[in-house]
Amino acid sequence: MSANTAPPHNVTAVVPLLMVTSMERSLAFYIDGLRFTIQNRWIPNGRLRWCWMSLDGAALMLQEAIESTRQRMAADGILGNGAALYFQCSDALAIYSEAAARGIYALREPQVGNFAWEVFFADPDGYGINFSSPTDLPEETLLSEIEP
């Protein structure tokens, strides 16, 4: 392949895998709270250990950590430390309102940042699960400043 020839496009998506300490708690957050749906699952010995889930066009995998992995995850005392997923969407504020109606609350009030509404959640293991949608409002505008 020459330097001027672009390679064929064969990568279609990136799907993060999050190791979780409790599949039950994580499913309550993602499925009951944020409305993801399970597309595929691995159930050895009758226990759900891994799943691929989606929300509209985005996908995410969860795997329940075995005990030795859970110990390593918690070694620094902060689960999910340094990991955040940003879901790009058309209406992050709708996700914020719908999640709150189901008892899933954002870490702080939605705010405009980087030309987008940003809504920040933390899942049960401390992973940042964030939703972002474009806006032309000024940076640092808070939702409470525009709601009646």
Q: What pTM was computed for the model?
A: 0.80
pLDDT at 66: 81
pLDDT at 11: 65
**H/E run at residue 94:** helix 92-101
pLDDT at 6: 59
**The two structure tokens encoding residue 87:** 């879901």
pLDDT at 116: 93
Cα–Cα distance, 44 to 140 (Å, whole number): 47
Q: Which long-range contacts (CB under 8 A, 24 or more apart) does 31-34 make?
A: 32/102, 33/99, 33/102, 33/103, 33/104, 34/95, 34/99, 34/104, 34/121, 34/129
pLDDT at 52: 96
- 30 three-state secondary structure: helix
pLDDT at 87: 93
Contact 37, 31 (CB under 8 A): yes
CATH T-level assignment (fold) for domain 17-70+79-145: 2,3-Dihydroxybiphenyl 1,2-Dioxygenase; domain 1 (3.10.180)
Cα–Cα distance, 123 to 142 (Å, whole number): 23
Amino acid, single-letter form, for residue 93:
L
Cα–Cα distance, 111 to 137 (Å, whole number): 10
Q: Extract the residue ranges of the chain whose pLDDT is less than 50.
A: 1
Domain ranges across the chain: 17-70+79-145
